[in-house]
């Protein structure tokens, strides 16, 4: 939709600028004297100057305007706002709904404790520079245990630490006493880890305890932990590998395990003999989830992958190198190194770190500190008698998630006050309804009273947060000003939509009339139609010209093939899953075509490859891929490969009718990017700089490489047809509609400008 760009306000910019410093009025002493009067509204000098300062800070400012130059823009927008309010648009349901949405989004930046988030983010980054190897012993106690049970668990942890410091073996103690369900197998060993990989209290203990020492008891939701730090070393970063995997486990017979081992070594030998990775992968791997990604596994660091894969992956040093076969709990693997990445800079990681610290277990720490801040700021007055009545309702049904306050008789919970915030009372009824609605089963060793108290504290904290959010305008002048500007921006957009934008798009007669007033205004300059290629060197240019030698253009983008069993051609669930990626690719790239190539072995029926092609094509068409975008090639048994399974495949080759697609795909796989454009060019087009303005082919050397130009034709300047000029015509028609609308508004609501006051406040 074509819409006039407004200098006064932009809603997206308001949202983006919410994190910036608040607008401050320039150091000009301003008395509150009306500078503009519209109808019965008097706009004070301070309000005008604040709007001017806001205009100067917006990111889409095209030029610096003086106060006098800005005044007409301000006046016109205030005229539109005056009519919006006069017609009640600022009280409409649509307006209130839109403002509520913006307010919710904008308030987030004013409600979070950014300094604390920054502090936790920097702490996490410093920790991520190191890997810690630690073991732990868990003394279990419920999150909501009674004080007596909590003290008992703490004393048990203290006693255990004493025994360990006297020389008892940590591994043996963990195996015997730890309530971590994995302790029997790993003896409490957590392996190497870094920030975000353990619950925050345990992580903090591991990073603050010296190597070889044992921490004091650390409380988590699960109980008390004793953490022994075994080692600390620099973080090697992250690695990504592809793998070929053949599954096996301890339940397989010895004979089967030997067969599988022979298969993985057969795959390894084919790689050693020069067979392409993709071919070997598709013939051997059992990992159906990664086969479509050329076997790629997600990026991982130390402590995030099974040890055998982790150790082998980090031992590979050269991109593209592959390992000898290794065995894990999942089976046999061959790994190929795809990428290695060191820890990025804090600036590069800041956004992701800030997101993670508010969503992982640090969130509990943030919530506790936020609650403490809100209680100090708003000083809620709690009613002990109200809590005492509520506390009597806590019973074991609350632990099972089956609690109901309606079991209590003869009590008007609406009249029982729990607390009040700044004079607003909060009755017990809403709290009890909240508990009933949100209750979940918890550890049955918990104390119902302790659980009820925690739920009460969470309820009070939530109500404090809600109160702060609802009263932000009262406590933050910057937020109040931001919401005021947002409201004005929304009203302006709605009025422009109604009076200008929608009318300009739907009124075809008005568009034609605007065009016919001055067709000469809408002209094409002299233009050349042709193709321009920018490449780093002659060899690259030759490769691109080969790709463009025949239309549709061959794309080097890889797609996975699908394999069939002997004499089979039906599309299985695995085939459908694999083809989904191709379907998505074709739908998101409308200029793509796909060649579907079928193969068979010499022992199979002659129609096997054709049947496979037909079934794949039918599947694509059933998924809304036009038959006109599908090419079919039946290779039968004439292109055999050394890997027998691949001779029963359907492969795919992508083409495109767009030269831009050729460039895009080529640049994904090459470090020296190319530019390919085929369109109309004008003499002042940067790609045509210093080129000869004539038909034919010309090649020239540039500082960045080589430029190839092929001009097919040169067209003289001419008047555009209406259909060619429609975009520019609509823009002009919008200006005309807005001009007429403003003239009408000025007649309805007379405008008076105090020029003397304008001169006083002009910088």
d(CA 30, CA 47): 10
3-state helix, strand, coil in the chain (%, to 5): 50, 20, 30
d(CA 680, CA 658): 15
d(CA 645, CA 228): 52
Tell me the three state secondary structure of residue 219.
Answer: strand
State the burial class of residue 663 (Cβ atoms within 10 Å of its Cβ: 0-12, 13-18, 19+): buried
Contact 639, 598 (CB under 8 A): no
Contact 204, 369 (CB under 8 A): no
Closest CA to 11 of 339, 417, 491, 357: 491
Phi–psi pair at 221, nearest 5 degrees: -65, -20
Give the pLDDT confidence score for residue 290 in this predicted structure.
84
Strand partners, 677: 532
Give the pLDDT confidence score for residue 407 in this predicted structure.
74
d(CA 240, CA 338): 5
d(CA 227, CA 233): 17
Tell me which residue has tokens 């299985």.
Answer: 572
**CB neighbours of 626 closer than 8 A, spacing ≥ 6?**
none
Q: How far is CA 170 from the centre of its chain?
A: 43
Strand partners, 700: 707
Closest CA to 322 of 337, 332, 310: 337
Query: Phi-psi bin for 65: left (phi > 0), alpha (psi -120 to 50), beta?
Result: beta
CA–CA distance from 264 to each of 258, 335, 396, 461 (Å)? Answer: 10, 12, 57, 58
CATH 3.30.1330.60: which residues of the chain? 554-651
**CB neighbours of 489 closer than 8 A, spacing ≥ 6?**
8, 9, 10, 11, 14
- Helices 477-496 and 67-86: crossing angle in degrees, nearest 10, is 70
Contact 391, 452 (CB under 8 A): yes
**Which DSSP letter does residue 296 get?**
B
- DSSP sequence for 339-375: EEE----HHHHHHHHHHHHTTSTHHHHHHHHHHHHHH
CA–CA distance from 392 to each of 6, 173, 386, 522 (Å)? Answer: 61, 41, 10, 81
Contact 237, 342 (CB under 8 A): yes
Tell me the three state secondary structure of residue 714.
Answer: strand
Strand partners, 424: 421
Radius of gyration, CA atoms only, the chain: 36
Contact 125, 530 (CB under 8 A): no
- DSSP sequence for 319-337: TT-BPPPEEETTEEEEEEE
d(CA 300, CA 239): 6
For the stretch 634-667, pLDDT in tens is 999 888 877 777 889 999 999 999 999 999 888 8
Cα-based torsion angle of the residue sequence 341, 347, 351, 356 in order, rounded to the nearest 10 degrees: 60
What's 554-651's CATH class?
alpha beta
- DSSP sequence for 646-669: GGGEEEEEEEES-HHHHHHHHHHS
Contact 335, 316 (CB under 8 A): yes
Query: The tokens of 377 are what?
Result: 């700021």
d(CA 535, CA 687): 12
For the stretch 666-724, pLDDT in tens is 888 777 899 999 999 999 999 999 999 999 999 999 999 999 999 999 999 999 999 99
CATH 3.10.50.40: which residues of the chain? 130-234, 238-341
d(CA 473, CA 484): 10
- DSSP sequence for 114-153: HHHHHHHHHHHHHHHTEEEEEEEEEEE--TT--HHHHHHH
What's 130-234's CATH class?
alpha beta
Taken in order 565, 569, 574, 580, the sign of the CA dihedral is: positive
What's 238-341's CATH class?
alpha beta
Contact 378, 465 (CB under 8 A): no
Query: The tokens of 327 are what?
Result: 């065995």
Query: The tokens of 730 are what?
Result: 């609509």
Closest CA to 70 of 37, 40, 39, 35: 35
**Which DSSP letter does residue 382 get?**
E
* DSSP H or E run through 504: helix 502-506
d(CA 737, CA 104): 34
| Residues of the chain below pLDDT 70 | 1-32, 58-63, 408-410, 763
Give the pLDDT confidence score for residue 608 in this predicted structure.
95
Q: Are strands 630-636 and 592-599 parallel, antiparallel or unpaired?
A: parallel
Q: pTM of the predicted model, to two decimals? A: 0.68
d(CA 170, CA 177): 10
Q: Give the strand order in the sheet containing 751-753.
A: 41-44, 34-38, 751-753
* DSSP H or E run through 700: strand 696-702
HSE-up of residue 249 (Cα within 13 Å, Cβ side): 3
HSE-up of residue 270 (Cα within 13 Å, Cβ side): 22
Tell me which residue has tokens 């048994």.
Answer: 637
* DSSP H or E run through 461: helix 448-470
**Which DSSP letter does residue 542 get?**
H
Closest CA to 245 of 226, 230, 267, 221: 267
Q: What angle (nearest 5°) sits at the alpha carbon of residue 387, between those of residues 403 and 376? A: 120
- Helices 448-470 and 428-438: crossing angle in degrees, nearest 10, is 110
């Amino acid at each position: 939709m074509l819409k006039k760009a407004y200098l006064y306000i932009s809603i997206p910019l308001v949202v983006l600028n919410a994190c910036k410093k608040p607008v401050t009025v320039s150091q000009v002493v301003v008395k509150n004297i009306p500078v503009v009067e519209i109808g019965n509204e008097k706009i004070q000098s301070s309000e005008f100057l604040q709007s001017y300062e806001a205009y100067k800070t917006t990111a889409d400012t095209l030029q610096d305007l003086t106060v006098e130059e800005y005044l007409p823009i301000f006046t016109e927008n205030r005229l539109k706002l005056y009519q919006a309010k006069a017609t009640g648009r600022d009280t409409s349901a649509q307006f209130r709904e839109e403002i509520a949405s913006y307010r919710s989004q904008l308030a987030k930046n004013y409600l979070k404790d950014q300094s604390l988030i920054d502090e936790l983010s920097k702490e996490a980054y410093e920790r991520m520079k190191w890997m810690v190897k630690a073991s732990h012993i868990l003394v279990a106690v419920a999150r909501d245990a009674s004080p007596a049970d909590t003290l008992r668990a703490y004393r048990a942890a203290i006693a255990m630490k004493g025994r360990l410091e006297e020389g008892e073996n940590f591994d043996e103690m963990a195996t015997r006493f730890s309530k971590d369900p994995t302790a029997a197998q790993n003896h409490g060993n957590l392996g190497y880890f870094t920030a975000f990989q353990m619950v925050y209290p345990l992580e903090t203990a591991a990073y603050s305890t010296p190597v070889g020492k044992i921490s004091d008891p650390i409380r988590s939701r699960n109980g008390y932990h004793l953490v022994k730090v075994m080692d600390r070393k620099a973080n090697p970063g992250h690695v990504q590998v592809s793998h070929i995997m053949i599954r096996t486990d301890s339940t397989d017979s010895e004979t089967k395990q030997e067969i599988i081992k022979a298969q993985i070594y057969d795959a390894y030998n084919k790689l050693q003999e020069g067979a392409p990775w993709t071919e070997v992968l598709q013939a051997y791997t059992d990992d159906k989830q990664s086969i479509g990604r050329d076997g790629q596994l997600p990026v991982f660091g130390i402590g995030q992958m099974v040890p055998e894969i982790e150790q082998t992956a980090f031992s590979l040093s050269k991109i593209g190198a592959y390992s000898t076969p290794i065995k894990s709990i999942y089976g046999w693997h061959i790994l190929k190194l795809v990428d290695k990445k060191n820890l990025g800079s804090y600036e590069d990681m800041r956004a992701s770190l800030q997101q993670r610290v508010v969503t992982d277990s640090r969130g509990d720490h943030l919530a506790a500190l936020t609650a403490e801040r809100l209680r100090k700021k708003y000083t809620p007055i709690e009613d002990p008698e109200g809590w005492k009545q509520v506390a009597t309702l806590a019973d074991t049904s609350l632990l099972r998630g089956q609690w109901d306050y309606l079991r209590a008789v003869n009590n008007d919970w609406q009249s029982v006050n729990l607390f009040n915030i700044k004079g607003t009372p909060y009755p017990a009824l809403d709290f009890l309804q909240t508990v009933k609605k949100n209750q979940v089963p918890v550890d049955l060793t918990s104390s119902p009273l302790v659980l009820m108290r925690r739920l009460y504290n969470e309820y009070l904290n939530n109500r404090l947060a809600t109160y702060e959010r609802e009263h932000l305008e009262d406590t933050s002048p910057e937020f109040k000003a931001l919401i005021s500007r947002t409201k004005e921006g929304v009203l302006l957009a709605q009025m422009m939509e109604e009076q200008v934008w929608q009318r300009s798009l739907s009124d075809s007669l008005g568009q034609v009339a605007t065009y016919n007033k001055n067709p000469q205004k809408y002209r094409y300059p002299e233009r050349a139609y042709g193709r321009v290629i920018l490449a780093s060197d002659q060899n690259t240019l030759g490769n691109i010209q080969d790709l463009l030698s025949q239309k549709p253009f061959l794309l080097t983008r890889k797609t996975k093939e699908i394999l069939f069993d002997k004499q089979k051609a039906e599309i299985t669930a695995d085939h459908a899953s694999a083809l989904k990626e191709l379907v998505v690719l074709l739908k998101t790239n409308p200029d793509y075509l796909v060649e579907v190539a079928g193969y068979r072995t010499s022992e199979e029926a002659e129609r096997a490859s054709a049947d496979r092609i037909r079934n794949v094509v039918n599947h694509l068409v059933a998924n809304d891929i036009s038959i006109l975008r599908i090419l079919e090639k039946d290779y039968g048994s004439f292109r055999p490969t050394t890997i027998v399974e691949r001779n029963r495949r359907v492969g795919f080759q992508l083409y495109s009718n767009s030269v831009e697609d050729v460039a895009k795909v080529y640049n994904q796989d090459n470090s020296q990017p190319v530019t390919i454009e085929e369109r109309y060019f004008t003499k002042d087009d940067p790609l045509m700089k210093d080129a000869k303005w004539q038909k034919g082919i010309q090649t020239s050397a540039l500082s960045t490489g080589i430029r190839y130009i092929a001009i097919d034709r040169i067209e003289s300047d001419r008047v555009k047809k209406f259909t060619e000029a429609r975009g520019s015509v609509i823009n002009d028609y919008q200006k005309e509609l807005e001009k007429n609308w403003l003239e009408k508004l000025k007649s309805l609501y007379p405008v008076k400008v105090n020029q003397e006051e304008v001169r006083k406040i002009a910088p």
